[in-house]
C-alpha cells in the first residue's frame, strides 16, 4: 500500500492527487459581488450537494499561498452573504479555465472571459447568461475549518 503525507509533498501535488482520487468531480463556477458592487467569478473543484431540504450545496475556498490569503470569492461572501453557483458544460469550459486565473481584486472576470452577465432573480451577484444551470444561493453561515489529512 502506498502512503502519502500531504505536508511533505510539493505544491500542487496534494491537490492533484486528491482530485484524481475523488473523481469525476463537478466544478462550482461561483459568481459573487463585493459590498461596493465589484463582480467576481471563479471556479472551485471541491463542490457538492449536501442536503435535500433545504436544498444545500457547499464548495470549498482554499486560501492563496501568498498575501492576501483570503480569495475574492470568500471576501465577497463575507460582505454580501450571497452567490450564484453555475454548472459548467463543455461549451463553457474554456471560459471557466480563464476565470481560474488569479486576477487583481478589482478585475471583472466576466469581461476577461467574454461572458455575458445578466442580473440574478433573487440575489445581488450576476449570472452567466449561457450557463445551463445557475443556483442563486444565500449563505447559511460560513464554516471555516483548518485541517489536514494523510493521503
Please name which of 24, 21, 31, 98 lies closest in space to residue 59, comparing C-alpha atoms.
31
Does residue 149 lie in a domain region?
Answer: no
Domain of 84, CATH number, reads 2.30.110.10
* Grid coordinates belonging to 38: 465589484
Write phi, then psi, for 12 (nearest 5 degrees). -100, 25
Does residue 95 lie in a domain region?
Answer: yes
Cut 0.85: pTM above it: no
Does residue 132 lie in a domain region?
Answer: yes
Does residue 19 lie in a domain region?
Answer: no
State the average pLDDT over residues 103-121: 94
Give the 3-state secondary structure of residue 54. Answer: coil
Q: Is a pLDDT exceeding 60 seen at residue 71?
A: yes
The count of structural domains within the chain is 1
Please name which of 80, 67, 91, 75 lies closest in space to residue 42, comparing C-alpha atoms.
75
pLDDT at 46: 85
Tens of pLDDT along 13-52? 887 887 777 767 788 999 999 999 999 999 998 888 888 7
Range of the structural domain that residue 123 is part of: 26-138
Amino acid at each position: 500500500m502506498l502512503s502519502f503525507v500531504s505536508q511533505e509533498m510539493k505544491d500542487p501535488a496534494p491537490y492533484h492527487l486528491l482530485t484524481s482520487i475523488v473523481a469525476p468531480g463537478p466544478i462550482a463556477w461561483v459568481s459573487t459581488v463585493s459590498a461596493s458592487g465589484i463582480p467576481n467569478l471563479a471556479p472551485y473543484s471541491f463542490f457538492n450537494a449536501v442536503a435535500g431540504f433545504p436544498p444545500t450545496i457547499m464548495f470549498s475556498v482554499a486560501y492563496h499561498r501568498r498575501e492576501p490569503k483570503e480569495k475574492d470569492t470568500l471576501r465577497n461572501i463575507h460582505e454580501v452573504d450571497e452567490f450564484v453557483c453555475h454548472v459548467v458544460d463543455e461549451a463553457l469550459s474554456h471560459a471557466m479555465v480563464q476565470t481560474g486565473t488569479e486576477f487583481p481584486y478589482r478585475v471583472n472576470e466576466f469581461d476577461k472571459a467574454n461572458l455575458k452577465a445578466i442580473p440574478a432573480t433573487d440575489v445581488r451577484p450576476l449570472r452567466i447568461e449561457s450557463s445551463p444551470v445557475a443556483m442563486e444561493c444565500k449563505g447559511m453561515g460560513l464554516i471555516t475549518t483548518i485541517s489536514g489529512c494523510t493521503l
